[in-house]
Amino acid sequence: MAPRFGKTWKALWNPDMYHGWGKNRNYFEGWYFKWVSPNEDVVLAIIPGIAMSESGEKHAFIQVFDGKNCKAWYHRFEAEDFKPEPDRFGLRLGENYFSGEKVRLNLSNLSGEIQMKNPHPWPKMLGAPGIMGWYSFVPFMECYHGIVSLHHELQGALKFEGKEIDFTKGVGYGEKDWGRSFPKAWIWMQSNHFDTDAPICLMASVANIPWLTGAFTGFIVGFLHEGNLHRFATYTGAKMTAILEGDGVRVTFAEKRKKLEILAMPAPGTDLISPLSGEMTGKVNESLQATLDITFEIDGEVRFRGMGRNAGLELAGDLAALLSQ
């Protein structure tokens, strides 16, 4: 087995690993670490990745997003500084290191180490190595998505903008994207903070998906509740409706016996740099102060109702393409 094929095949079955072996142009890959301090006064998103333009120009990066103060920094690196491990999720980027177990940072405005304990990865199933189900095997997708951990405990401290921040007993979340470009329109939301002590997570992504000669609206949703992961996805046969409501959006997902309704309300955020044809030239406004009002039912009985806070929310592009008629 050729070394590159072996690494690509292993990454296919382990979405958190690097997928760009052999890629030299029109490609991006990035991970997203969200950390909330125990008293919830600090919410950070750390986004390491690599970008390759259509002409073959490459660079690596680490974006830092301060969700409470609505500030973002883009730390640029040479592509040669981007060194993923071939047999597991591990990435060295200059003097920084990222994995599913820990992140070590040495940036001009952010340094320290955070360990991530008791992760809740997306379960693997026959024919479905990750959150994308069988779409993971389709070779021409514009953008692929993976979950590193739906919920984990944090341990460690950071020095950020001259201040010491202790994240021990805080809560984290991790995901990633790779491919050519972000979609032309998408809705993304995520929260781990509801009024419950048990590990909980809601993440939902709705996007315009190019497909052969046309496009369709695809979605993937995971609701971790009381130790169970409830999935709603295009590939599971679930149905979705989406309507604008005030400044927010109300989305409803239904499949067989289960129903999940979410009212996502935006809050102040800032622009992050996003990929277009492998280049980091796009912009997407993201908030880490949004709220998600959710109701989850099984057989018509409400099993959970609550308001998610410290929520990540992106409402991007031509949303009309995603809304129910």
> 290-300: per-residue pLDDT in tens?
999 999 999 99
Mean pLDDT, range 55-71, rounded to an integer: 97
Question: Per mean pLDDT, which range of 70-79, 130-139, 270-279 is the poorest?
Answer: 130-139
Q: Which two tokens stand for residue 244?
A: 């604008």
Mean pLDDT, range 245-252, rounded to an integer: 96
**pLDDT at residue 5 in the model:** 66
Q: Tens digits of per-residue pLDDT, 167-191?
A: 999 999 999 999 999 999 999 999 9
- What is the domain partition of the chain in residue ranges? 3-321
**Whether 46 contacts 156, CB under 8 Å:** no
Q: Please tell me the distance from the alpha carbon of residue 308 to that of residue 289, in angstroms, as a whole number.
A: 10
Q: Which amino acid is at 309?
A: R
End-to-end CA distance of the chain: 50
Model's pTM, two decimal places? 0.96
**pLDDT at residue 1 in the model:** 41
